[in-house]
Chain A
Amino acid sequence: MIKTEKNKVNLIDARGPRFSAVITTLVLAAALVTQSAVLIAIQLVVFAIGAFAGPAKTPYAFLFKKFVKPRLKGDAPTEDARPPQFAQSVGLIFTVVALAGSLLSIPALFIVAVGFALFAAFLNAAFNFCLGCEIYLLALRAVK
């Protein structure tokens, strides 16, 4: 899912994923309140694009490039695309679980899964939280 070749670091504008996290937070918050399977399905597709094609290829990244980036001043801070791509993959897993909860009529599963995804997206948007920093090594330690 995520390429980990050490020599080829794909750099993207670091402000893009932060902007995407804001939109993601709004979509997930709306989905949580309305318990809308449609909103979660849309977010699932966005996460899937981010996880497989890269965070700079999502519709939210397109909005950032088209409308936000031209208005920003100063040099673009760059970052490695892999950390946000990892976060998108984790988001994908949570939205898949949420959608399953919705389709199987298990509202608790939907609420908990959307809740976790929203928790991470909000932290990313508001506090620049790095999900990969905190859980990747713990996950590796658990499985290897």
Chain B
Amino acid sequence: MNSLTPLLVVLALAIAFGVWYTRSRGEFRKKKTVNGPKLDASIIGVELGSRVTMVQFSSAFCSPCRATKALLEDMVKTMPDVRYAHIDAESHLELVRKIDIRSTPTTLFLNGEGVEVGRAMGTPKRSQVLAAVNAIR
């Protein structure tokens, strides 16, 4: 009962998913309605940036989380009005559910008031982070 059909179906689906996955990771997605919960220092563990705060959620079984953390930590060094916070998703499951974090790394971009403006899943490129941060007034 040898058949190539299952193999071809799986490969076709995996290629389609893989192309979508590669394109969508790191992309900044604007929140359509700005009415999410306000985050503050007591929740994220770091004082809010005066213009932008980037809040990264990570987990143990996530290899791109390390690279994302290194990139964002490096980028905020040259941006005095932007701050970075790092949250272990596993130990903050209530918050994770409340703001619907589904995969790691997910980085939220908060405005000066602590309201989410948008988010990026996966490791963003330096240029994608810059564009997202610059778009927030």
**Residues of A with Cβ closer than 8 Å to B?**
2, 4, 14, 29, 32-35, 79-80, 82-87, 107, 111, 114-115, 118-119, 122-123, 126-127, 129-134, 136-138, 140-141, 144
Contact = CB atoms under 8 A, between A and B. Distances in A.
Interface of B: 1-4, 6-7, 9-11, 13-15, 17-18, 21-22, 59-66, 89-90, 93, 96-97, 101-105, 122
Contact of A118 (B2, B10, B93): B10
A32 B17 CA distance: 20
Q: Which one of A82, A114, A134 has the highest number of Cβ atoms from chain B below 10 Å of its Cβ?
A: A134
Nearest to A86: B61
A8 B90 CA distance: 17
Given A29-B7, A122-B10, A132 B1 contact: no
Contact of B21 (A79, A115, A127, A144): A127
11 contacts: A29-B7, A80-B66, A111-B6, A115-B9, A123-B18, A129-B21, A130-B63, A132-B62, A133-B63, A133-B103, A140-B93
